Chain A
Amino acid sequence: MSEASSRKLSDDLLRPLLETSWRFYALVAFLGSIVLMGLCTWAYQMYMGFGMTGINNPIFWAFYITNFVFWIGISHAGTLISAILRLVNAGWRRPVTRCAEVITAFALMIGAMFPIIHLGRPWLFFWLVPYPNSRLIWPNFRSPLVWDFFAITTYLTGSVLFLVLPMIPDFALVRDRTTGMRHKIYGALALGWQGTPKQWHRLESAMSIMAIAIIPVAVSVHTIVSFDFSMAPVPMWHSTMFGPYFVAGAIFSGIAGLIIAMAALRKFLHLEEYLHPVHFQNLGKLLLMMSLLWGYFVFAERLTVWYGNESAEIAVLRVTQTGSFAPLYWTMVVVNFVIPVSILSIKRLRTIAGCVVASFGVLVGMWLERFLIVVPSLGHKYLPYSWGTYRPRPVELLITASTFAAMCLLYTLFAKFVPIISIWELKVGEQEPFETAKERSARVLGEARP
């Protein structure tokens, strides 16, 4: 690309780093205070005892596990965009890839907090780490919770590295454009990157390997999270379909989260020239496809339960379709399936605004879906004498709200300190297409003919 446009690209995408308005500080202060409140609430819960939550007998898992599955699900956005689209050489992924990977990394960090928050004795969570110790006991590798620990550790490590490695050349760019303390810090972060062909080649090879490696890991992570449920003999949990169902749901909610993040960045960082409506339309088509897939899974599961007529499962099915959970269930169906399919299948409605509306609906719907998997089944197990109900208490609501604030806060801070669009990858996308000698001579000679 021409030098002028390359410079403009760098200027536009570095502007958020170099210029700060009062709105940034206000936003950080607001979000930070909510996050602080969440942390204090958690400390309060640990001090007063886990009884401060709404958990009871038999509903021993509720909001925190719902949040855990929800956030791990959101984290599948990055893998889909960065890894899968990279492997199929989809050029339109270039402006979107870092936005998506950031969502993955932060959603994983937030999601990984919840298995600790929901413990009765959270200060002992490190007992899941297999290291030689004086307790003479190892973790139980047969437990899906231990599988969770390994899966999330692997996925988090892989995702963070996948995010950080292509940031190195961009840190070099910022190093070269700044002076003073910024120059020193970004210089350190750039690790002395020069941009020799050897370095570029190694970086791109490493990214290809990581892309191939991270996809099966992502699939396995949400499958293992689904195993937390399907390994227990609880009505409507013990389903063989949970693995693929959860992975599809994760990708679904991940794309929705990505669309919202991209729309926000485009508006607040003035990235209209780099995030085009076609990007949103492509993601909107993916969201439509995932909505249909989600609908298919839900239909298949419920038809099987209804047709099979096993009394314990029918009790759970009934309580979600027509009983006390019916309002939540039908809301979920509307915002997860009816509204997204309606908006996204009509090209005129598949605008940026339309995609964002559909995505907000999907986020609400997917949170409800997780909740409706966890709580109704636990409340209606095999012995009706022990059936129960659940109502969330303030600690759970506050901690849940603070995780959403934490995600926004981390994202805002990231966009302030790192270019949110991968500058060098975008430049590669703008390069002249690679022609072979034959193609070039055909083009040149073809043009020369009158």
Chain B
Amino acid sequence: MSAVYALYSSPDAAQRAVNGLYAAGIAQADVVVMSGEPFEAQPFAHRDSATWLWYIACLGGFVGLVFSTWLTRMTELAWPLQTGNMPIVAWWPNLIVIFELTMLGAILATVLTLFVTAKLPGRLPKLYDPEVTNGKILVGVENPSAATLPALERALMAGGAAELKRS
């Protein structure tokens, strides 16, 4: 079997199960948790929360800024056409386009990074249960070794799950 898991009705029960799995010697990265909504209160929800997303968004904005400054200035100098009494490189109007493309750069960088780090689009893994979207929280381990299996099962049941599942 490739995974063992259990479903819990409350986030506290899921946290107990996760703690039990850690005590049984499973590394943090190997414990799989899935839920139909994000949770704030429990520590298990704060795994993997370190992210560079904010910096990447700023970087994307900077890229947009540089690109738009270059684009407006380059195009105005490439074919210099006099309009009104304005200078050929007109900074006030250019600032508006620069602002818009800066924000666009930040937005696109954010979305791209989200997709990459959340591994979207991706295939649904073998370890998944449709009950997750029904309000249950899934806690499990993929590819458990035969030796640790009994300890795992005890930890999962101690959390208060109704039953153990395998996939």
Contact = CB atoms under 8 A, between A and B. Distances in A.
A–B contact with Cβ pairs below 8 Å: the answer is yes
A308 interface: no
Contacts of B113: 206
Given A161-B107, A161-B111, A209-B53, A176 B101 contact: no
B121 interface: yes
Contact of A432 (B41, B75, B123, B133): B41
A51 interface: no
B92 to A, nearest CB: 9
A141 B72 contact: yes
Contact of A224 (B9, B96, B136): B96
A59 interface: no
A3 B45 contact: no
Interface string B101-130: 101101110110110011111111100101
Which of A175, A177, A199 has the largest count of B CB atoms less than 10 A from its CB?
A199
Given A7-B135, A150-B101, A154-B100, A202 B53 contact: yes
Interface in B79-115: 79, 81, 83-84, 86, 90, 93-94, 96-97, 99-101, 103-104, 106-108, 110-111, 113-114
Interface string A123-158: 000000010000011111111001100110110011
Interface in B16-50: 32-41, 44-49
A155 to B, nearest CB: 8
A192 B120 CA distance: 7
Given A195-B35, A196-B33, A157 B41 contact: no
A247 interface: no
B158 interface: no
Nearest to B72: A141
B96 A140 contact: no
Interface residues of A, number: 64
Contacts of B84: 142
Contacts of A169: 36-37, 133
A138 B75 contact: yes
A310 B135 CA distance: 67
A217 B103 contact: yes
Contacts of B103: 154, 158, 213, 216-217, 220
Say whether chain A's binding surface is mostly helix, strand, loop, or mixed: helix
B66 to A, nearest CB: 15
A1 B101 contact: no
Interface residues of B, number: 64
B132 A220 contact: no
B35 A220 contact: no
A312 to B, nearest CB: 20
Contacts of B54: 205, 209
Interface of A: 1, 3, 6-7, 10, 130, 136-143, 146-147, 150-151, 153-154, 157-158, 161, 165, 168-169, 172-173, 175-177, 187, 191-206, 209-210, 213-214, 216-217, 220, 224, 227, 424, 427-428, 431-432, 434-435
Interface of B: 9, 32-41, 44-49, 51, 53-54, 57, 71-72, 75-76, 78-79, 81, 83-84, 86, 90, 93-94, 96-97, 99-101, 103-104, 106-108, 110-111, 113-114, 117-125, 128, 130, 132-136
